[in-house]
Structure 1
């Protein structure tokens, strides 16, 4: 029986999810310190994502939220997190599984992570480059500032 190789990509993916979970747990318990704030992009089609129908209609594939000035009910568990954000003076609860995450950026310290999916192919990447950034409807700017944090891409090392 041949033992499969070490799945470094999968191990890094899970470690990055745990890192984000730890950060969000700290924010839930203690609030955001200093100038820290987060841009979190997630796949709205992922199983377990819970959001209002009008938001899903507006963001049928991907959405970026901003956790900065106003957020409420942030809770974190082993599979994901829930949070209530303000969309045009309308508080809306969201449930985001960690498996749905695509990017996590904290521009205040130039930190960022990118989660690549196994079924994400080069054709999808070309299409994504032509799209305008999502309007997050949250409490910050539409997208992270240009020249933000370094993004770690695991697919660079996958075969």
Structure 2
């Protein structure tokens, strides 16, 4: 048992759960009213799946908008997949929740930002080994903490 409560890890799970529930509702019933989402994610995350041309165009981070047109939204416990239109070219994206950096619904001025910070191995109580990082098996594991994001960045 740990000597302290890891509030950052608990908040991380809660915020990812919130996104999961919101997207489940959208998959079942569509976007209600004026709701729409800006979702920024890490395109280098090992479980992200994008067309090669999108990975080349967005080598680190990409923001997608779920608003007027999207298709085949499939929401799972570990992430979601969706088909979006890029210049009249529909493309399928697979986005794990752990890759999400921001989730914003400007229609109701709601937003989340997930910060990344490195943690020491001895502080990690998770018994599963970390995935190999971008530099191989010796990379440090990354922990994501959540905080509210300012909506000013998304205002027109």
> Which segment is superposed worse, 2-11 or 82-91?
2-11
2:55 aligned residue: 56
1:157 aligned residue: none
2:70 matched to 1:81? no
1:5 aligned residue: 4
Q: Which structure shows the bigger proportion of residues in strand conformation?
A: 2
CA shift, 1:145, in A, is: 1.4
TM-score (norm 2): 0.76
2:14 aligned residue: 15
Q: Secondary structure at the residue paired with 2:115?
A: coil
CA deviations 1:65-104 (Å, max 9, x no partner) are 0000000010111110000000000000000000000000
TM-score (norm 1): 0.74
Gaps of 5+ in 2: 120-152
Moved over 6 A (4+): none
Q: Secondary structure at the residue paired with 1:10?
A: helix
Quote the Cα distance in structure 1 between the aligned partners of 2:93 and 2:85.
Answer: 11
CA shift, 1:118, in A, is: 2.0
Quote the Cα distance in structure 2 between the aligned partners of 1:30 and 1:49.
Answer: 25
Gaps of 5+ in 1: 121-142, 147-159
CA shift, 1:4, in A, is: 2.5
CA RMSD of aligned residues (A): 1.5
Quote the Cα distance in structure 1 between the aligned partners of 2:60 and 2:2.
Answer: 37
2:124 matched to 1:90? no
Quote the Cα distance in structure 1 between the aligned partners of 2:2 and 2:60.
Answer: 37
1:69 aligned residue: 68
Q: Secondary structure at the residue paired with 1:116?
A: strand
2:110 aligned residue: 111
Quote the Cα distance in structure 2 between the aligned partners of 1:3 and 1:110.
Answer: 37
Quote the Cα distance in structure 2 between the aligned partners of 1:5 and 1:87.
Answer: 46
